[in-house]
Amino acid sequence: MKYLILIYRNPSTRKIWEEGFTDADRAAAYRAYAELNDSLTASGELIVSESLMDVEEARHVIVRDGRALASDGPFAEVKELLAGFYLVEADSMDRAVEIAAAIPEVAVGAAEIRPVRELP
pLDDT tens by residue, 7-28: 998 888 888 888 888 999 989 9
CA distance 110 to 98: 13
Strand spans (E) along 10-116: 46-51, 60-64, 67-71, 81-89, 110-115
Categorize the per-residue pLDDT at 88 as very low, low, confident or very high, splitting at 50, 70 and 90. Answer: very high
Query: In the beta sheet, which residues pair with residue 29?
Result: none
pLDDT tens by residue, 55-83: 778 887 889 999 998 888 656 666 778 89
Query: In the beta sheet, which residues pair with residue 62?
Result: 69
Q: Does domain 2-115 have CATH number 3.30.70.1060?
A: yes
Query: In the beta sheet, which residues pair with residue 111?
Result: 7
